[in-house]
Amino acid sequence: MDPLFPQSPVGFIREKSNVIFRQLLRSRRPFVAEITDAIGNEIFTVCRPFWWINSSIYAEVDGKEIGIVHRRWHLWRRIYDLYLGNRQFAVVENPGFWNWTFTLIDEDDNVLA
């Protein structure tokens, strides 16, 4: 948000996906989303392929992959591995089944947030 112009948009997200996939596959559907500034210049792209059990989402700038999030399977917890390039820098963990509290842990097992 721009504090001088709080009502003006600072960017947009445009999703490129198939309407039929969106209805049939719902949250498992593959998609590509372009993140742009307010003028329409593409800043980066977010891609997620179709998934069954473990999902992954990729951030790309000019076709070069800059970040990845992999979901690790667990019966009742949500665990996400965060990567910058090929290096894992953090893990996001949810302690319980219905719990909406997440812990962000760095590679040295220090709590970041």
Residues 113 and 59 in one domain: yes
Residues 11 and 33 in one domain: yes
Residues 67 and 113 in one domain: yes
Residues 66 and 36 in one domain: no
Q: pTM of this prediction?
A: 0.79
* C-alpha distance from residue 31 to each of 1, 75, 111 (Å): 26, 25, 31
| The predicted structure's pLDDT at residue 64 | 94
| The predicted structure's pLDDT at residue 95 | 80
Reported as a single tens digit per residue, the pLDDT across 43-87 is 999 999 988 888 999 999 999 999 999 999 888 888 999 999 889
Amino acid occupying residue 5: F
| The predicted structure's pLDDT at residue 57 | 96
Reported as a single tens digit per residue, the pLDDT across 4-44 is 877 788 899 999 888 887 788 888 888 999 999 989 999 99
Residues 57 and 31 in one domain: no
* Residue 6 burial (CB count, 10 A): 7
Q: Which of the four pLDDT bands, split at 50, 70 and 90, describes residue 3?
A: confident
| The predicted structure's pLDDT at residue 32 | 93
Residues 40 and 59 in one domain: no
Question: What is the domain range of residue 27?
Answer: 1-45
Residues 62 and 103 in one domain: yes
Q: How many domains does the chain have?
A: 2
Pairwise CA distance, residues 43 & 66, whole Å: 12
Instruction: Tell whether the model's pLDDT for residue 98 goes beyond 80.
Output: no
N-term to C-term CA, the chain: 23
Residues 29 and 67 in one domain: no
